[in-house]
Amino acid sequence: MGMIEILLTVTAMLLALALAGVSFIAYRKSHLRAALYLLIAFLLFAIKKVIETLSISRGIERGIGLLINLLEVLVLLLLILAIWKR
């Protein structure tokens, strides 16, 4: 993994955690379900990036691909739920 890839991965993780923090504050103030969905989505995205980074650095890509794809689908579903107008 090159230096730029590491920098981009760390930046993505930090942004996901910052957005999770903002979503948590929004949920505490408003108790809107959409903010909770966003909080969970951003936390799952950060976890996904950590798993990807660990699997690449340790060469354990077999079996991790399914977990990463599942996390991506969950993140997208939560984002859809958060913006869905009822």
Query: Which pLDDT value is given to residue 7?
Result: 87
Query: Which pLDDT value is given to residue 8?
Result: 87
Query: Which pLDDT value is given to residue 60?
Result: 65
Say if CB 55 and CB 82 are below 8 A apart. Answer: no
Query: Which pLDDT value is given to residue 75?
Result: 94
What is the value of pTM for the model shown?
0.82
**Which tens digits make up the pLDDT trace of 34-77?**
999 999 999 999 999 988 888 776 666 666 777 888 899 999 99
